[in-house]
């Protein structure tokens, strides 16, 4: 086993990885910024090291400081989680150069898949279907005009680097093409330091379906089925589920085989995701994510495979603990990302102090969280509070449990997107599984009306709960946090640097 594993991340994903470490009997090391000096993940780790001021560029994106923390702690491996440096080939290379075990794919693979033009071209060689579009970058309007004329409007212009939908521009006709091209190139240059873009046919109402793959260093590559990730806002996922209501076993097998073939072709290792657009019975490669995904719990819930633990064991040289023939998907799971944001005002972030916090529980409910009562959600990072996951014997039961869990969830002090999730769970289009990446835009009026009903109906209760937590539960909340911290210290007292 490894001597120690440093988790180069924060919040719930840091705790998620540390839990896997604890089950494996491996000490974990946290790194934290000034903004996270009172965060829960620090208390969970066996050691914690300060790495810089609150801005990410000076802390969680500071490769030098993270490597130095690994040296000081004696950590022999680093798990990057997701986001921040998880898909940064320079970080993976720095770990490799320092003889630190990077828990993820090699720097070569991260770099290969990080450029979407290169990834698209490379996976085509492996027989992976791609959306019709350019084979290389598009540099000027004349070139873009020729491509659009060949594949037909509408088209989408995408930066070759980066992700998260940043810089993507849609053109429905030639008049829109010039502005879309200029905007995409400018945003790509400013955000990713690379103005390179490419063009694809824009699929009007596709579903976003991704396949989870796992690969070891012994040549084994498997898939753990798919996740439906179509409910998005500005290309950012909000609700995910497994399996997809759109796929039958024949399609699942075919897409899974393609995902495994891609993993073998590029020499993949660790957990990764192949993302596809699915439209009218056809699927097309979108991009590869060379890390664990935010939504990995839904796959864990339906397969019983601990993805984070598999990542660690693979990095230690162990073969995968499960073969493809033994993978089964039982029931259905749904994940709602609970964020500190106001869905009634275009999901504007709502950072601040939690006055009261009580998470739901019961049969088939999982909450991955990095907060505690009285915790202050920083304005400088992603406003995620938790990931709420429910499992059921079928999709209907998973939805019913999600409804129940959402109504049990108590969060006061900040606005959250819980009313939005409640509205989605009541939406007939969602319940019928008729999903697409434009679901929120198409159902906007219905969702807003339902959210308004939810908030008006619950306002008296919310006000009462806020009063209770503020006036009567303050001491109890702080006592609970202290007790939890003490519990985490029982085996060994964490060392703070």
Q: Tens of pLDDT along 82-95?
A: 999 999 999 999 99
pLDDT of residue 474: 55
Query: pLDDT tens digits, residue range 275-322?
Result: 999 998 999 999 999 999 999 999 999 999 999 999 999 999 999 999
CA distance 472 to 135: 63
| Beta carbons of 496 and 48 less than 8 angstroms apart | yes
For residue range 23-48, what is the model confidence (pLDDT) as tens digits? Answer: 999 999 999 999 999 999 999 999 99
For residues 188 and 165, give the distance between their C-alpha atoms in angstroms, rounded to a whole number: 11
71 given a catalytic annotation: no
CA–CA gap between residue 345 and residue 324 (Å, rounded):
45
Residue 5 has pLDDT above 60, yes or no: yes
Q: Which domains does the chain have, with CATH numbers?
A: 5-103 (3.40.50.20), 132-201 (3.30.1490.20), 207-458 (3.30.470.20)
* Concatenated DSSP letters of 154-211: SEEEEESS--TTTT-EEESSHHHHHHHHHHHHHHHHHHHS---EEEEE--SS-EEEEE
The predicted pLDDT at position 491 comes to: 42
Q: How many CA atoms lie within 13 A of 94 on its CB side?
A: 19
Taking CA 387 as the corner, what is the angle to CA 25 and CA 408, rounded to the nearest 5 degrees? 115
The dihedral formed by the CA atoms of 119, 121, 127 and 132, expressed in degrees to the nearest 10: 110
Whose structure tokens read 């839904």?
Answer: 298
Alpha carbon separation from 442 to 209, 227, 293, 430, 445 (Å, rounded): 19, 21, 26, 12, 8
Spatial distance between the Cα atoms of 228 and 223, rounded to a whole number of angstroms: 15
**Residue 194 clears pLDDT 90, i.e. is over it:** no
Q: Which two tokens stand for residue 341?
A: 């944001």
Average pLDDT, the chain: 92
Whether the model pTM is above 0.85: yes
β-pair type (155-159, 197-201): antiparallel
Q: Residue for token digits 């290379």? A: 93
Q: Alpha-carbon distance 360 to 6, whole Å?
A: 30
| Span of 103-117, 134-148, 331-345 with lowest mean pLDDT | 134-148
pLDDT at 164 (0 to 100)? 66
**pLDDT, tens digit, for every residue of 135-181?**
889 999 999 999 999 999 999 999 987 666 788 999 999 999 999 99
**DSSP assigned state of 34:** G
Are residues 352 and 414 in contact, defined by beta-carbon separation less than 8 angstroms? yes
Q: What is the pLDDT of residues 201-258, one digit of tens each?
A: 999 889 999 999 999 999 999 999 999 999 998 888 999 999 999 999 999 999 999 9
359 secondary structure, DSSP code: -
Q: Distance (Å, rounded) from C-alpha 211 to C-alpha 260?
A: 9
pLDDT digits (tens, 9 = 90+) for 400-450: 999 999 999 999 999 999 999 999 999 999 999 999 999 999 999 999 999
pLDDT(390) > 70: yes
Please give the structure tokens belonging to residue 480. Answer: 């609970």
Q: How confident is the model at residue 488 (pLDDT cuts 50, 70, 90)?
A: very low
Which of these is catalytic: 10, 120, 269, 291? 291
Angle between helices 418-426 and 444-471 (to 10 degrees): 140
Element (DSSP H or E) covering residue 29:
strand 28-33
Q: What is the C-alpha end-to-end distance of the chain, expressed in Å?
A: 25
Distance CA 318, CA 264 (A): 17
What stretches of 340-443 show up as alpha helix (H) in DSSP?
Answer: 395-408, 418-426, 428-431, 439-442
Q: Is the pLDDT of residue 485 over 80?
A: no
Q: Which of 463, 381, 484, 469 is nearest to 56 (CA)?
A: 381
Q: Which two tokens stand for residue 149?
A: 């004329």
Question: Token pair for residue 12?
Answer: 């719930």
């Amino acid at each position: 086993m490894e001597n120690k594993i440093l988790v180069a991340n924060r919040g719930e994903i840091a705790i998620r990885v540390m839990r896997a470490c604890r089950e494996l009997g491996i000490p974990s090391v946290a790194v934290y910024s000034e903004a996270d000096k009172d965060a829960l993940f620090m208390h969970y780790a066996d050691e914690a090291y300060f790495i810089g001021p609150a801005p990410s560029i000076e802390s969680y994106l500071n490769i030098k400081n993270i490597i130095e923390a690994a040296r000081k702690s004696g950590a022999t491996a680093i798990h990057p989680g997701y986001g921040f440096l998880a898909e940064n080939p320079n970080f993976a290379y720095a770990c490799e150069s320092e003889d630190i075990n990077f828990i993820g794919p090699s720097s070569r693979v991260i770099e290969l898949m990080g450029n979407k033009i290169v990834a698209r071209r490379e996976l085509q060689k492996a027989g992976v279907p791609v959306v019709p579009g350019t084979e290389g970058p598009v540099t000027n309007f004349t070139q873009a005009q020729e491509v659009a004329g060949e594949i037909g409007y509408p088209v989408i212009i995408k930066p070759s680097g980066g992700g998260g939908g940043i810089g993507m521009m849609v053109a429905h006709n030639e008049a829109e093409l010039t502005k879309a091209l200029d905007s995409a190139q400018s945003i790509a240059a400013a955000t990713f330091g690379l103005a390179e873009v490419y063009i694809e046919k824009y699929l009007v109402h596709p579903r976003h379906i991704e396949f989870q793959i796992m690969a070891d260093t012994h040549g084994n590559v498997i898939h753990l089925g798919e996740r439906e990730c179509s409910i998005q806002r500005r290309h950012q996922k909000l609700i995910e589920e497994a399996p997809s209501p759109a796929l039958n076993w024949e399609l699942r097998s075919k897409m899974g085989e393609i995902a495994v073939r891609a993993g073998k072709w590029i020499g993949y290792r660790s957990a990764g995701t192949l993302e596809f657009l699915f439209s009218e019975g056809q699927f097309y490669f979108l991009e590869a994510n060379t890390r664990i995904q935010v939504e990995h719990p839904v796959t864990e819930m339906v397969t019983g495979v601990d993805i984070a633990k598999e990542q660690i064991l693979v990095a230690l040289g162990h073969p995968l603990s499960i073969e493809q023939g033994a993978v089964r998907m039982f029931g259905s799971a749904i994940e709602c990302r609970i964020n500190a944001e106001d869905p009634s005002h275009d999901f504007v972030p709502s950072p601040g102090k939690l006055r009261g916090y009580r998470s739901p529980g019961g049969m088939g409910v999982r909450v991955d969280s990095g907060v505690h009562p009285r915790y202050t959600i920083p304005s400088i990072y992603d406003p995620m509070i938790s990931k709420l996951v429910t499992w059921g014997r079928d999709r209907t039961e998973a939805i019913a449990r999600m409804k129940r869990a959402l109504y049990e969830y108590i969060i006061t002090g900040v606005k959250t997107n819980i009313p939005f999730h409640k509205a989605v769970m009541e939406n007939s289009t969602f319940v019928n599984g008729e999903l697409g990446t434009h679901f929120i835009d198409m159902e906007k009026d219905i969702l807003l009306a339902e959210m308004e009903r939810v908030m008006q109906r619950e306002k008296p209760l919310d006000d009462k709960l806020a009063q209770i937590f503020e006036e009567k539960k303050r001491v109890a909340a702080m006592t609970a946090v202290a007790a939890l911290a003490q519990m985490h210290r029982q085996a060994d007292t964490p060392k703070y640097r």
